Amino acid sequence: MELVTSRFRFGETPEPAGYERSEPFYPLSSRVFRRSHLRLPVKALEHAPGMLALLRRRPDVLHLQWLAAPELDRYLLRPRVPTVFTAHDLLPRRTARKLSLWRTLLSRFDRVVVHSAKGREVLAVLGVDATVIPHPVFPSDPPRADDGHTLLCLGTIRPYKGLGDAIAAAKRIDGARLLVAGDPLEPVNGYREQAGNLAEWRLGYLPQREMERALGEATVALFPYRPELDQSGALLQALGAGVPAIAYDVGGIADPIRQFKAGRVVPAGDVDALATAARALLDDPAELDAARAGARRARDTLTWDAAAAAHLALYEELT
């Protein structure tokens, strides 16, 4: 197995174990520009050489985890080997309305993978018969240091993450503390003003030790997302650390919470329901313990070995 990717811009990556890694994509934009506005136009210029070089390879199976420039890939992507695509975000937010573009692109893959039954339903509208492989959790066991009333918002800060709803819900719960931990990809001054003294902010790309410190301090994690993606890596970090979650019912985010009884799912956009669900867990030790047990069940079931076996079975169908 070879991972063909670009340089990770925010920290060190682990040494490959059991696979090879090459970084031919975006050699300049991933090294020089970081969050500069110049990065995207340079990246667009670098995309075609990287994609064409990838397509010249002859692996047994080519598995794409992302299409960084779908408008260009409509013309470039002509694979000549068995090819799989994982639709992590189903239809990425910038091009989600371009249904004909995605219908064309997805038709070029032999298999398309999604992480939930709801994701499969979304792509069925485009004529895609997707395969559901649940995303594994990210297991960890941080020292428990929560005070029994800390609500966590974890991960990159983007408009679709619903941080404003999380702040509004936390303000309706007496004694609640909000911990916001992640890298802001939008201005946060308005959120800071909205939260006042309620929130602690740990901003930037967090190294693993800081991620685990935040998870260890969390009583419950909040995911009031808008419907733009199928599954959340931040949710899977929380469940993997044994932290219960409360989420809006969007995409496939609700699936592991419901399946393993690892928290609560509330209607999308309902801040009152979000606050009520959070208060119910914070105020009832037995309910909180049951939700924590559900998070641990998710960690024990949604393993990387299980996901790997499902992918190998998929690859064997194509070779």
pLDDT at 40 over 90: no
Position 94 confidence tier, pLDDT thresholds 50, 70, 90: low
pLDDT at 36 over 90: no
What CA–CA distance (Å, rounded) separates 28 from 34?
Answer: 10
pLDDT score, position 19: 94
pLDDT at 125 over 70: yes
Position 247 confidence tier, pLDDT thresholds 50, 70, 90: very high
Joined tokens for residue 255 = 């699936």
**SS3 assignment for 24-85:** EECCCHHHHCCCCCCHHHHHHHHHHHHHHHHHCCCCCCEEECCCCCHHHHHHHCCCCCCEEE
266 near 203, Cβ under 8 Å? no
pLDDT at 122 over 90: no
For residue range 300-310, list pLDDT tens digits in order. Answer: 999 999 999 99
Question: Across residues 259-287, what is the average pLDDT?
Answer: 97
Angle, nearest 10°, between helix axes 271-283 and 163-170? 50
pLDDT at 42 over 90: no
**Domains of the chain listed by start with CATH number:** 2-136+305-318 (no CATH), 150-301 (3.40.50.2000)
- Which of 101-105, 170-174, 219-223, 293-297 is predicted least confidently? 101-105
pLDDT at 261 over 80: yes
Residue 167 phi, psi dihedral angles, 5° rounding: -65, -45
Residue 284 phi, psi dihedral angles, 5° rounding: -125, 100
For residue 98, the number of C-alpha atoms closer than 13 Å in the C-beta half-sphere is 13
pLDDT score, position 93: 61
The residue whose two tokens read 């594994």 is 136
Asked whether the whole model's pTM tops 0.85, one would answer: yes
- Which of 4-13, 70-79, 108-117, 171-180 is predicted least confidently? 4-13
